[in-house]
Amino acid sequence: MDIAGKKVAYITLGCKLNFSETSTIRHGLEEAGTLTVGEKEHADIFVINTCSVTDVAEKKGRQLIRKIVHHNPEAYIVVVGCYAQLRAKEILDIEGVSLVLGAHEKFNVEHYLKHLETTAQSEPHSCDVFKLANFNLAYSFGDRTRCFLKIQDGCDYFCSYCTIPYARGKSRSATPEQILQAVRDVAAKGIKEVILTGVNTGDFGRNQPTDLLALMKQLDETDEIERFRISSIEPNLLTDEIIEFVASSKHFMPHFHIPLQSGSNEVLKLMRRRYTREFFATKINTIKSLIPDAFIGVDTIAGMRGETEDYFKDARDFIESLDISRLHVFPYSERQGTKALEIPLVVSQEEKHRRVSELLAISDRKLHRFHRQCEGQTRPVLFEDTKVGQHICGFTDNYIKVRLPYDPTLANRIVSVRLEPEILTVED
Ligand code: SF4
């Protein structure tokens, strides 16, 4: 197929990594002469980047693909992403899907589209993900303000509930030179904040003579980007040196996102996580002793197989005791091919959702407490380039979301704002 002049629409499901990769696919196709359009504008080609983190995410992916095929029967439908790598045949069975590309092949959409009419499409284009050694740099920017920069991909941890290592392969990283070049590129586009993103971001630098701390020190010296954040970091990889560095850094914001997953040591063992809850608590205490106003977001999973009522209560009480700012709560999802399926005790759907609600209530209390702690302070807010209803929104250095009446002159600027209760918002 000659793709020059074709209209292409992009739809992304899932995490920030997927958003950064869709952007990179889009830039490649635009350079090949395609025109980017919205999904309602009768595109010739749709690129759908899917997620496989839960069964709900996969179901959403299937529904979306069917909907797009139904409304655009003439269009070519290209499906990429974790779901496409893990369940390619299942997707190809959906009538109307033209191409399914795996973890490596998705960065070569142009090639596969050009050969579309001459290649039989009953088979997915997919590689052995564990043989993947090369790293594809990617970065996204939805507006002119913030950018998600992928510095690492894959994961060697194999937590018992997780399919990501099977979808993305072994841990591998960009080189510091690639990252510095990407940072210069996005700075030239007017981006003010870069979020360093990966599957296991703290594992950055594996098999290279560098590590995340060394990279952070290099980035802190560039001065081309005003703010950096780390999207998420495993507790065992969040060293005291990284915390101390953030405490004294010019450009790394006082903001941590750390996956705990369970506050019960027994459940952590079932999950095959690499730390105890006591170790996790020392990390929180170190952050708070050095940076009292740091925002700490924590991921948890509720209703994991093997999580008895007693284990859950123990976990909940531990989480309640932590000086953190917000929880991101996910109901445990059964994933085909994972070790967790060998654990006999299954938590019912109803009970799982009850546990999710309990943890969300703790999260609400913690966020309100954190807001109260910071009320009255004056902090730098980076306002985003979009109008939300009648408002303009932005984030403080320590990740408090602020909302002011819309004023276009604030967009993409860092402005000192006094944090009055009425301008703080709890929306994500
Ligand atoms: S660290 Fe565990 S949960 Fe995170 S991607 Fe790796 S295997 Fe999955």
User: Of 171, 200, 238, 339, which is best to mutate to test ligand 1, by the most ligand atoms within 8 angstroms of its C-beta?
Assistant: 200
Q: Is 138 a domain residue?
A: yes
Q: How far is ligand 1, taken at its centre, from the CA of residue 305, in Å?
A: 17
Whether residue 137 contacts residue 160, with contact meaning beta carbons closer than 8 Å, is answered with no
Residues 223 and 158 in one domain: yes
Q: How far is ligand 1, taken at its centre, from the CA of residue 159, in Å?
A: 6
- φ, ψ of residue 51 to 5 degrees: the values are -125, 155
Q: How far is ligand 1, taken at its centre, from the CA of residue 59, in Å?
A: 21
Residues 304 and 191 in one domain: no
- Mean per-residue pLDDT, 248-260: 98
| Confidence tier at 121 by pLDDT (50, 70, 90) | low
144 vs 122, which has greater pLDDT?
A: 144
| Domain carrying residue 396 | 378-425
When the pLDDT of each residue in the chain is averaged and rounded to a whole number, the result is: 93
Identify the pLDDT of residue 199.
Answer: 95
Give residue-wise pLDDT tens across range 384-428.
988 888 999 999 999 999 999 999 999 999 999 999 999 998 877
Identify the pLDDT of residue 115.
Answer: 83
- Which residue's CA lies nearest to atom 2 of ligand 1? 159
Q: Round to whole Å and give the CA distance between 163 and 52.
A: 8
Residues 248 and 328 in one domain: no
Give residue-wise pLDDT tens across range 235-249.
999 999 999 999 999
The minimum-distance atom of ligand 1 relative to the CA of 261 is 3
Q: Round to whole Å and give the CA distance between 284 and 8.
A: 45
Identify the pLDDT of residue 142.
Answer: 64
In the structure, which protein residues have their CB atom closer than 6 angstroms to any atom of ligand 1? 155, 157-159, 162, 164-165, 199-200, 234
Identify the pLDDT of residue 120.
Answer: 47
Q: Is 267 a domain residue?
A: no
Q: Is 264 a domain residue?
A: no
Number of domains in the chain: 4
Q: What predicted TM-score, i.e. pTM, was given to this entire model?
A: 0.93
Q: Which of 99, 127, 155 is the last residue of a domain?
A: 127
- Mean per-residue pLDDT, 204-211: 91
Least confident of 135-144, 195-204, 249-258, 317-326: 135-144
CATH value at residue 49: 3.40.50.2300
Tell me the two tokens of residue 143.
Answer: 């507006």
Query: Is 270 a residue whose pLDDT tops 70?
Result: yes
Q: Round to whole Å and give the CA distance between 400 and 339.
A: 38
Q: Is 59 a domain residue?
A: yes
Q: How far is ligand 1, taken at its centre, from the CA of residue 257, in Å?
A: 14
Residue matched to tokens 């932590």: 322
- Which residue's CA lies nearest to atom 1 of ligand 1? 157
Q: How far is ligand 1, taken at its centre, from the CA of residue 195, in Å?
A: 19
| 3-state secondary structure (DSSP) of residue 424 | strand
User: Of 15, 129, 152, 157, which is best to mutate to test ligand 1, by the most ligand atoms within 8 angstroms of its C-beta?
Assistant: 157
Query: Is 116 a residue whose pLDDT tops 80?
Result: no
